[in-house]
Amino acid sequence: MSVIRFEPLRDPFRELDRLISMAASGTRAPLGMPMDVYRGEDGSYHVEADLPGVDPDSVEVTVEHGALTIRAVRTPRYGESEQVIVAERPQGSFTRQLALGEGVDSENLTADYADGVLHVTLPASPQTQPRRVEITRAAGGSRTISGVTVEQGDATTSGPG
């Protein structure tokens, strides 16, 4: 019995993207990992990065100088002595870096990895959380707003001057 090898049809744009990634990074690994970033109702930011087939022990999440860095390594499950027929899944080291704004509490971030997805939660800094400012009435029943005085029950206004 003989095995006939053939090259499957390739999407030319996918191949171009792969070549650009290889040239830009200087390695065979792609430029990055697919991810989603969104802001939750509580103001915290969530990063979800797809890392299927990656050993959780190889995933590293760091925060330094206002940047979140995610590193991961995917190694092939086959050995050097095994004959590889098709190898389309990218192997090697992956790195993705995101700049963090002033409104992120980088000291209290959390990360978990399940089902090939890394989920990083970056809570919003308490100083940047929106807050409602209570308005109190000044003595005598008047209220001052931006230098304009309005007397209660009076339609006259006086400005600075």
Residue-level pLDDT, tens digit, the chain, 161 residues:
434 444 445 455 666 666 666 666 554 444 458 899 999 998 899 999 999 989 999 999 999 988 999 999 998 888 889 998 888 888 888 889 998 888 888 889 999 999 999 999 999 887 765 667 888 777 666 555 555 444 555 444 444 54
Burial-class residue 30 by CB neighbours within 10 Å (0-12, 13-18, 19+): middle
Q: Is residue 134 part of a domain?
A: no
CATH number at residue 51: 2.60.40.790
Distance CA 122, CA 120 (A): 7
Name the pTM for this structure. Answer: 0.59
Residue 55 located in a structural domain: yes
What's the domain range around 93?
33-126
Distance, CA of 117 to chain centre = 13
Domain assignment of residue 16, yes or no: no
